[in-house]
Structure 1
Amino acid sequence: MNISSFESEFNKIMRRDYFTSHVKPIREQAFNNFLEKGLPNKNWEDWRHTDLKPIKEIDFRLSEISDAPAHELDITEFGLDDVHTIVIYNGHYQENISSVPSGVRLISLADYGDQNAWKIREPNDSPFDLLNTAFMDSGFCLTIDKGIQIESPVRILYISSTEKNIMVSPRMYIDLGESSSITFIEQYEGNCNEYFLNGSLIVELKENSRMSHFRIQNNSVDTVNIGNIHVQQDSASHYTFNQFACGSRLGRLNLLADLNGKGAECFINGLTLTNNIQHIDNHIVTSHNAPFCTSSQYFRSVLQDRSSGVFNGRTIVSEGAEKTDSKQSNKNLLLSKGALMNSNPQLEIYADDVKCSHGSTTGALDQDALFYIRSRGLDIVSAKSLLIRAFVSEMIEPIHHENIKSYIISKFDAWLNENTVQ
């Protein structure tokens, strides 16, 4: 998608904008800033291992009313029982099959923008945050008031199903009041061809609040999925993130977490499965801006065929953030000679009296372990499957929500059955 195509689509959204007039200048400023920066290329340090050709080679267009479903959707095929679901289909909210539990206030993005125009400004000056602000077309704010504990998980289900080259730009806000809690699921599904989703999620956790966040990326392999997540944590707040990614031709997660209050905890985990020519890039930055905070980044990837991946994890310990406890670990399993993984865990420490560690390993299946298992009577495919399952299980087993765990296991099993080779 070249710049002139972006400009053409931007003019369309400005003509039909459903926000009030004070949001339009924010859109315009974001788009002008995007034009100045342009799309990232391999000369940018944080993008040097990721080729944006799947975006550049296709002229995507905005989603139209005609792209909404013609009949009521059946979402049972997307699993996850006993959750409240907000359904977005090709960028269009499906109110008739959406619900939120008691205690959660759901505010449309348009109403939220009218009430909080200053918050609509892009949370970061990265090109894809700017692009999201310029083109944001759907989304909500979920607000949980002080002291409210939401027992039932809340899921936002993004479904893409079309033969056309659609671009959608959802914007979500989650505001947790003091001592509140929620389990939140982002789930991306669909069988479309050449679909570009560029979403932004802004999370604010007040003192003593807790959020368990799952991101399931199961798009078709012709999809581009860019996820921009920004987390702000107050004192003694707790944020846990788990991503399971096996879909998309090109996937990029930009997750920035700021631990701004004393004793905040932030645990970021990810499991990626790729094959064919898929490329999944995880870019994580955790900033310790207060003392006595704890964080971890644990990511694992299994790569097959000519697929590739990136883990670029950074932990920043600011001046004055004493008693920081931070860990990073990235482990990657290459199932073919053509698979490629780039791993770059980083620490930036500007404070004394901290405990920080990081490590990375990338390699093929252990041949000695394979030989031992086969000597016990298993064939080569079963032996490989057993080792891959053991490698992956350390990321899945800690998940406490059984329905989510079962769904992820079912997707992993399907992937493993298709990708374990002789």
Structure 2
Amino acid sequence: MTLAHYQTQFDQLLDRDDAHDPIHQIRKKAFSKFLKTGFPTQKWEDWRFTDLSHLKKQSYQISDGLDDPVTIIDRSTYKMEGVETIVIHNGHYQKALSSHHDGIRVLTGPKYINERSGQIKTTADDPFDLLNTAFMDSCLSLMIDRNINLTTPVRILVISSGIDPIMVSPRVHVDINESSSATLIEHYLGDATSTFQNSSLIFSIAENSHLDHIRIQSNPVSAQYVANLNVSLYRNSQYNFFQLSQGSGLGRSNIRVNLKEEGSQCTLNGLSLSVGNQHLDNNILVDHFAPNCTSSQNFKSILEENSSGVFNGKVIVRKDAQKTDAEQTNKNLLLSKKAVINSNPQMEIYADDVRCAHGSSTGELDKDALFYLRSRGLDAITAKSLMIRGFAMELLGSIKHKGIKNYLIKALDTWIMEKTKK
């Protein structure tokens, strides 16, 4: 899919829009900037280990949203107990299939543009966020009112289906207003023959608020997936993030967290499970702007067969961010001689009164530990499975919601069972 093909698809999108719609000019500005930057190449530092050539080979089409998800989607397949679900199908918000708590206001279409136009017009220079802005489908704004404690998790379910190669561009803003708390699940899956999913999520977490955010990426391996996440934290707010990434032939997570005011905290945990020729890439930037803030990163990858992965994590501590406490850990388990991981933890520190640490380790299953387990009567498959599970469970143990934790543990156990039997 050359830039010329994207231009053709963009022209079709403009023809579909109302020329007087305010989104028209926002799209044009973003696409103009995208054409100037183009797709990242491996000459870019943050993209050295990720090849995007497949995106140029496939001719993805925009999703026109005319399909009927009520007849296409088997809701029992995507059911998750104990959650409210907002459904996005092939990039388009499906109100008839969605439910949410009364404390959440959902804006889409013109109401979204009126609420968010100032933020969208000041687009970043990231090419995938620009592309998302230009092609955004049913953009959504979720607003949680002040002093609201949502005890039921909210799931944003992004489903892709169909036989034609399509590009979907969901864009969601989430505002957690003062002294509120919520659990949000971001869930990607589907059965599309070929999909380019390019999503953008923007979070604003106000003073004294708390958000637990769980991302589950379970796309088919035929999918190409890029997720752009931008989080802004304000005074005494807290953000906890967990990502399970096990789908897509190419999966890239761009995670940006800005600790803007004093006392804010973030915890970022991630588990990647790759097999075959999958390539899963995590690119993380945590930026400390204010004093007395804390951040923690702990990412793990388990790689089988010819799969590959990237951990490129950076922490920046600005000059005024005294009393910062930041740590960063990356651990990787290679189950095959052909599997490859590229790990690059980084810290840029411009303040002098800080506590910062980072580290990375990569290895295979401990043969002595395997031998010990075998000597206790376990067969080879059970012993191997037990060690893989132990490596991953440290992260899953951090999930507070019991139902979500059990869902993730089941997904992990299924993956281990399938891979260790080979």
- TM-score w.r.t. structure 2 length? 0.97
1:418 maps onto 2:396 in alignment: no
1:97 maps onto 2:70 in alignment: no
CA-to-partner distance for each residue in 1:35-78, whole Å, 9 max, x for gaps?
11110110000001001122111010001234442617332322
Structure 2 match to 1:330: 330
**Sequence identity percentage:** 48
Deviation at 1:21, TM superposition (A): 3.3
Structure 2 match to 1:209: 209
1:47 maps onto 2:47 in alignment: yes
1:80 maps onto 2:109 in alignment: no
1:350 maps onto 2:350 in alignment: yes
Deviation at 1:122, TM superposition (A): 5.5
Deviation at 1:110, TM superposition (A): 3.2
CA-to-partner distance for each residue in 1:116-150, whole Å, 9 max, x for gaps?
31122354211001101111112310101111111
Match of 1:138, SS state, is: coil
Q: Distance in 1 between matches of 2:335 and 2:297?
A: 23
**Structure 2 contact 92–170 (Cα < 8 Å) conserved:** no
Q: Distance in 1 between matches of 2:421 and 2:334?
A: 12
Q: Spell out the pairing of 1:224-303 with structure 2 (5 A cutoff).
A: 224-303=224-303
Structure 2 match to 1:405: 405
CA-to-partner distance for each residue in 1:170-217, whole Å, 9 max, x for gaps?
110001111011111110111211100101011011111111101000
One-letter code aligned to 1:217 = Q
Q: Distance in 2 between matches of 1:113 and 1:86?
A: 19
| Consecutive unaligned residues in structure 2, runs of 5 or more | none
Structure 2 match to 1:307: 307
Q: Distance in 2 between matches of 1:394 and 1:109?
A: 41
Q: Distance in 1 between matches of 2:29 and 2:90?
A: 26
> CA 1:389/1:14 → structure 2, altered by over 3 Å: closer, same or farther?
same
Deviation at 1:24, TM superposition (A): 1.8
CA-to-partner distance for each residue in 1:344-399, whole Å, 9 max, x for gaps?
00000000110000000011111111111111111111111110010011011121
Structure 2 match to 1:155: 155
Structure 2 match to 1:121: 121
**Structure 1 contact 18–110 (Cα < 8 Å) conserved:** no
Q: Distance in 2 between matches of 1:345 and 1:291?
A: 22
Structure 2 match to 1:145: 145
Structure 2 match to 1:317: 317
> CA 1:109/1:254 → structure 2, altered by over 3 Å: closer, same or farther?
farther
Match of 2:394, SS state, is: helix
Q: Distance in 2 between matches of 1:257 and 1:137?
A: 25
Q: Distance in 2 between matches of 1:64 and 1:213?
A: 30
**Structure 1 contact 19–114 (Cα < 8 Å) conserved:** no
Q: Distance in 2 between matches of 1:381 and 1:35?
A: 51
Q: Which aligned segments of 4 or more residues in structure 1 are displaced greater than 6 angstroms?
A: none
Q: Spell out the pairing of 1:144-223 with structure 2 (5 A cutoff).
A: 144-223=144-223
1:380 maps onto 2:380 in alignment: yes
Deviation at 1:93, TM superposition (A): 2.1
Q: Distance in 2 between matches of 1:102 and 1:114?
A: 22
**Structure 1 contact 121–133 (Cα < 8 Å) conserved:** no
Deviation at 1:111, TM superposition (A): 1.4
Deviation at 1:83, TM superposition (A): 0.7
1:26 maps onto 2:40 in alignment: no
> CA 1:65/1:177 → structure 2, altered by over 3 Å: closer, same or farther?
closer
**Structure 1 contact 319–351 (Cα < 8 Å) conserved:** yes
**Structure 2 contact 18–24 (Cα < 8 Å) conserved:** no
